[in-house]
Structure 1
Amino acid sequence: MTFSEQLITFMFIFCLPLLNASEASQCSSSSCGYRNVDVRFPFWLFPKQSSTCGHTGFDLLCTDRHETALKLPDTEPFLVRDIYYDKQRFRLNDPNNCMARRLLSFDASGSPFSPLHFLNHTILIYPNEDIKSSSHYKPIRCLGNSTSSFFAILFDFASSMPSSCQMVKTLLLPVSSPIAVDLNDQDLWLKWDSPSGRDCENNRSLRGFENNTTIEVKWFSSFKSGIHNFVLLMMKLICLSLMTLLFGITTCVVYVTFSFERLPTQIRRSLARHATLKPPRGRARSPIFGPYKKVMNMREVRSLRAYSDVNTASTSNASILGYSCVVLARFVETVHKSK
């Protein structure tokens, strides 16, 4: 096996596995746009990230307005406003600005999330003409019609409402505080218990699956993983550069070789005839021999000098062969002109 063949074999054996190598198994954070919610493990952003970058049920998506959204089972998407990874909770909002209506039918079953608190509320319908402007109860703005309004009050205060109020139902509503607040001004706060990563967040480490075939969560040093990915990228660039250079050299050698083999047959025959020519004896000078000899002397000197320079500058057989072809072609052309 020649040196060039050994070099090509080494390049493929060394570089191909490196080019197929993956970065550290944890995924970097992503977002739907500038100054948007930072999405990282256990959440993952579809379709910007692979499902292996997050936990099951923690998939988020981007809206047409480049906002981060969460789609829970059997519900319309919620907008994600904040994610507190150290506290393992996040804040949701309704795209239509009617969170109170969403809370009346909210159901987190089938997802890994749960509300922070529940309070028992009673839903009432109250005629609009009986509503007092001084009342501390606020109607749900996105519900009701021109004749009546809807109220959501704590169950303990339902008995104090006027008799004109009609009770619709009583239910537990998810709230962000154990203290009663106006549902019109409330966002939905959810939390998750598993996977847990509070200590990891406090240590400023990254979390992710140990590999793509297990669900075991592992902590990664963000500094070490950054160095690993940088070194891997540099080695990939070096390998690609070397393979490109090797391909270019091989192409040049093949081009020069085929160019020489395709020299016109007439030039080859002329070179063969020139090799059999012998100078005439005596003082008689042929009309061709005089200029022929001068041409030979000048061409030989130039060819030897050129050959010496090329041989000193490069030992490449392809370069010497190509240069010799040019010199011989010019020489044959001069011979034909002299005739």
Structure 2
Amino acid sequence: MPTLQILIIIFLFCFFFFIPDHIGTASASACAESACSSSYISSIPIRFPFQLKTLEPSRCGYEGFDVSCNKSNQSQTLLTLPSSGDFIVQGIYYLSQRLVIADPANCLPRRFLEHDFSLIGSPFSFVDGLENYTFLNCSYQVETSHGSISCLSNELYKVIGVPSKSINFSAPSLCSVISTALVPLSGSFESDGWDLLNYYFELAWDVPDCRFCEQSGNVCGFKDGKSSELKCSSIYSSKKGLSRTANYAFTTFTGIIAIIFVVALVLQLRDSRRAHQPMTELSTVTNRRPLVIRIGLDDATIESYPKTQLGESWELPKPNDNTCPICLGTYKPAETLRTISECNHYFHANCVDEWLKMSATCPLCRNPSKGNKISHLTTGA
């Protein structure tokens, strides 16, 4: 088997069995940081375990940590909880593994009241646990020791939330019970406690635990594309894609393959020259280019064709024919035209003169001229 074919087989074997696995391993452990907003102030960095589900490979994030950009406001980052729908991400704190979210409708107490908030099916948990609250509908004139929930109240009535364990002691007699619900806030609230809940709410996660990476100034990621083992990577490599080691290995491998191909080509050319050396003299003879005879017109015949010099008024023999078919240039005042008598086609004089010296036909209609002809010898292609 020829040397070149053997080297090609070696190259294909190395490419398909080494390169994909190496690149896959490096890229899986070093995914790029992303964000929905380009503004430094409002930008929320998205990196492992979170990922923008439409922009990054699946191995760049942990299951359940998919986020997306709000279609109506591209600068907002959305978290979709399986049992509760969309929430706006206000901040992600990777070192403490906390997540701050807000209700898009700015009324999170309503979602608790209507039992429309649950973390079932998500990897997140409540930071301070849950406490049972009773929601009361009171007349607006009734004075209570509990602050009203502004997003549920109006000028006629107000809604308050009271810990259920103390409802018999603090609930006013002119209030009616709406419902009870578990609320992720503990203890007694000040007057603005419920309103603060409209602006932000804190969740936590324990798995995956990447705090050991964050504490060292690195970022977390999967060790490779096949296992769920975690690995720390530098922030530089996560922003650039392949790590420095991966880039070095890939460059080295590519260089080796290039050297192999150069050596193979040199050997192939040497063998080829040896095989064809006796035929060199014959090849030189047979490769000579043949002579081609071209028949054109003599100078006297060419000069016999009439000339016309265009004036300032640009009088053309044919008003609609204002372009030279040979050079494709537009006729201009003071230029000289020459007309072929046999067909009445005209051209720039210098263009058609050169043509007629090599060919005894009209450049446009190819009709032969009846004038005196002369042969020219040229080398064929």
TM-score, normalised with respect to structure 2: 0.55
Q: Secondary structure at the match of 1:137?
A: coil
**Match of residue 46 from structure 1:** 53
Between the aligned residues of both structures, percent identity stands at: 28
Tell me by how many angstroms 1:89 deviates.
1.3
Tell me which amino acid in the other structure corresponds to 1:122: T
| Closer, same or farther: CA 84–123 of 1 in aligned 2, 3 Å | same
Tell me by how many angstroms 1:77 deviates.
0.4
**Match of residue 204 from structure 1:** 217
Q: Does 1:170 align with 2:206?
A: no
**Match of residue 124 from structure 2:** 113
Superimposed CA distance per residue, residues 286-308 of structure 1 (whole angstroms, 9 cap, x where no aligned partner)? xxxxxxxxxxxxxxxxxxxxxxx
Distance 1:38 1:234 in 2: 31
**Match of residue 33 from structure 1:** 37
**Match of residue 143 from structure 1:** 152
Contact 2:218 2:233 in 1 (8 A): yes
Contact 1:154 1:180 in 2 (8 A): no
Q: Secondary structure at the match of 1:31?
A: coil
Distance 1:109 1:217 in 2: 25
Contact 1:71 1:78 in 2 (8 A): yes
Q: Secondary structure at the match of 2:221?
A: strand
**Match of residue 185 from structure 1:** 196
**Match of residue 270 from structure 2:** none
TM alignment of 1:310-329, pairs within 5 A: none
**Match of residue 62 from structure 2:** 55
Q: Secondary structure at the match of 2:112?
A: helix
Contact 1:46 1:62 in 2 (8 A): no
Tell me by how many angstroms 1:90 deviates.
0.8
Q: Say how many residue pairs are matched.
A: 251
Tell me which amino acid in the other structure corresponds to 1:160: S
Q: Does 1:220 align with 2:233?
A: yes
TM alignment of 1:64-143, pairs within 5 A: 64=71, 65-66=73-74, 67-104=76-113, 105=115, 106-117=117-128, 118-128=130-140, 130-132=141-143, 136-143=145-152
| Closer, same or farther: CA 236–77 of 1 in aligned 2, 3 Å | farther
Distance 2:90 2:3 in 1: 62
Tell me which amino acid in the other structure corresponds to 2:208: P
Tell me by how many angstroms 1:236 deviates.
9.9
Q: Secondary structure at the match of 1:172?
A: strand
Tell me which amino acid in the other structure corresponds to 1:164: L
Tell me which amino acid in the other structure corresponds to 2:176: Q
Distance 2:250 2:174 in 1: 73
Tell me by how many angstroms 1:232 deviates.
6.5
Contact 1:85 1:198 in 2 (8 A): yes
Tell me which amino acid in the other structure corresponds to 1:31: A
Contact 2:59 2:225 in 1 (8 A): yes
Distance 1:77 1:236 in 2: 47
Tell me by how many angstroms 1:119 deviates.
2.8
Tell me which amino acid in the other structure corresponds to 2:33: S
| Closer, same or farther: CA 270–51 of 1 in aligned 2, 3 Å | closer
| Closer, same or farther: CA 70–232 of 1 in aligned 2, 3 Å | farther
Contact 1:80 1:91 in 2 (8 A): yes
Tell me by how many angstroms 1:63 deviates.
0.6
Contact 1:103 1:174 in 2 (8 A): no
Contact 1:99 1:184 in 2 (8 A): no
Q: When you count helix as a share of all residues, which structure comes out higher?
A: 1
**Match of residue 276 from structure 1:** none
| Closer, same or farther: CA 269–11 of 1 in aligned 2, 3 Å | same
Distance 1:88 1:178 in 2: 24
| Closer, same or farther: CA 183–235 of 1 in aligned 2, 3 Å | farther
**Match of residue 377 from structure 2:** 336
Q: Does 1:161 align with 2:171?
A: yes
Superimposed CA distance per residue, residues 114-155 of structure 1 (whole angstroms, 9 cap, x where no aligned partner)? 111223322101122x234xx553322222456432111233
Tell me by how many angstroms 1:54 deviates.
1.5
Q: Secondary structure at the match of 2:105?
A: coil
Unaligned runs of 5+ in 1: 243-266, 272-333
Q: Secondary structure at the match of 1:163?
A: coil
Unaligned runs of 5+ in 2: 260-287, 293-374
**Match of residue 253 from structure 1:** none
| Closer, same or farther: CA 235–46 of 1 in aligned 2, 3 Å | farther
TM-score, normalised with respect to structure 1: 0.61
Tell me by how many angstroms 1:41 deviates.
1.4
Q: Secondary structure at the match of 2:64?
A: coil
Tell me by how many angstroms 1:47 deviates.
0.7
